[in-house]
Amino acid sequence: MKVLVTGFEPFNGETINPSFEAIKMLPDEVEGAKIIKAKLPTVFRKSLCELEELISKENPDIVICVGQAAGRSKISIERVAINIDDAEINDNEGNKPKDEKIFVDGENAYFSNLPIKLMVKTIKEHNIPAEISNSAGTYVCNHVFYGLMYLIDKKFKNLKGGFIHVPFSHNQVLEKKNVPSMSLEDITNGLFYAIKGVLSEK
């Protein structure tokens, strides 16, 4: 069993991205499954090309992409990705698509095929706040989540995939007012138990 876990580069003026900082701290093996870690660029299209290459190369059983969700206070297991790019800020290469379909031959939306409720339950059993989220936004996170599920639908039919949003890490909010955050340890543990939840289903 092999699990590919991806994080993102920092964006929007941040110097770190807690999604990648946290996945780096995950063990290389969980319950006998090998954990492969990778960083994706915070760039429309390019992120998806790299994700597809990684899947082709690593041939994982499960893919979990992780991104930063400014302002949320809990680990969010995303339920659904929608077929739209609608950016309010530039990505890391200056792209800012508005109201564009991600794949013209894709479904309007794809649901995660991971056991999202079980993931939330497993994380919460270890005293880390977690919840289901019904929107991954319309920026690069949703783009990658949608692209992953599109790839599963069209090409990698046996693959399981989903997306997790994590809060800012503490060091990102030290100078911000009233913005929730979580320690990198908690975020890492949240992701660890999310993976355990996924593996316990199989």
Question: Pattern 104-123, binding to a copy of itself, x per CB under 8 A?
Answer: ---xxxxx-----x------
**β-pair partners for 76:** 131, 165
Q: How many residues bind a copy of itself, per CB under 8 A? A: 37
Indicate which single residue of 16, 25, 33, 173 sits in contact with a copy of itself (rule: CB under 8 A). 173
Nearer residue to a copy of itself within complex by CB, 73 or 92: 73
Q: Is 138 in the site for a copy of itself (CB under 8 A)?
A: yes
Estimate to the nearest angstrom the gap between the alpha carbon of 107 and the chain centroid: 20
Nearer to a copy of itself, 52 or 153 (CB): 153
Under DSSP, the state recorded for 169 is B
Binding track, positions 29-68, relative to a copy of itself; x by CB under 8 A: ----------------------------------------
What residues contact 66, with CB distance under 8 A and at least 6 apart?
Answer: 5, 6, 7, 8, 19, 20, 22, 23, 163, 164, 165, 166, 191
Among 73, 92, 113, 200, binds a copy of itself (CB under 8 A): 73
Give dist(CA 38, CA 4) in Å, integer. 8
Least distance in angstroms from the C-beta of 196 to a copy of itself: 17
Residue 191 has phi, psi (to 5 degrees) of: -65, -40
User: CB within 8 A of 158, min separation 6: which ones?
Assistant: 61
185 lines the binding site for a copy of itself (CB under 8 A): yes
Q: Which residues contact 15 (CB under 8 A, 6 or more apart)?
A: none
Residues 61, 84, 92, 118: which binds a copy of itself (CB under 8 A)?
Answer: 84
User: Which SS3 state, helix, strand or coil, does residue 129 take?
Assistant: coil
Q: Give CA–CA dist 192/50, Å, rounded.
A: 23
Q: Of residues 151, 186, 191, 192, which one binds a copy of itself by CB under 8 A?
A: 186
> Which residues of this protein are in contact with a copy of itself, per CB under 8 A?
71, 73-74, 79-80, 82, 84, 86, 99, 107-111, 117, 124, 127-129, 131-132, 134-135, 137-138, 170-171, 173-174, 177-181, 183, 185-186
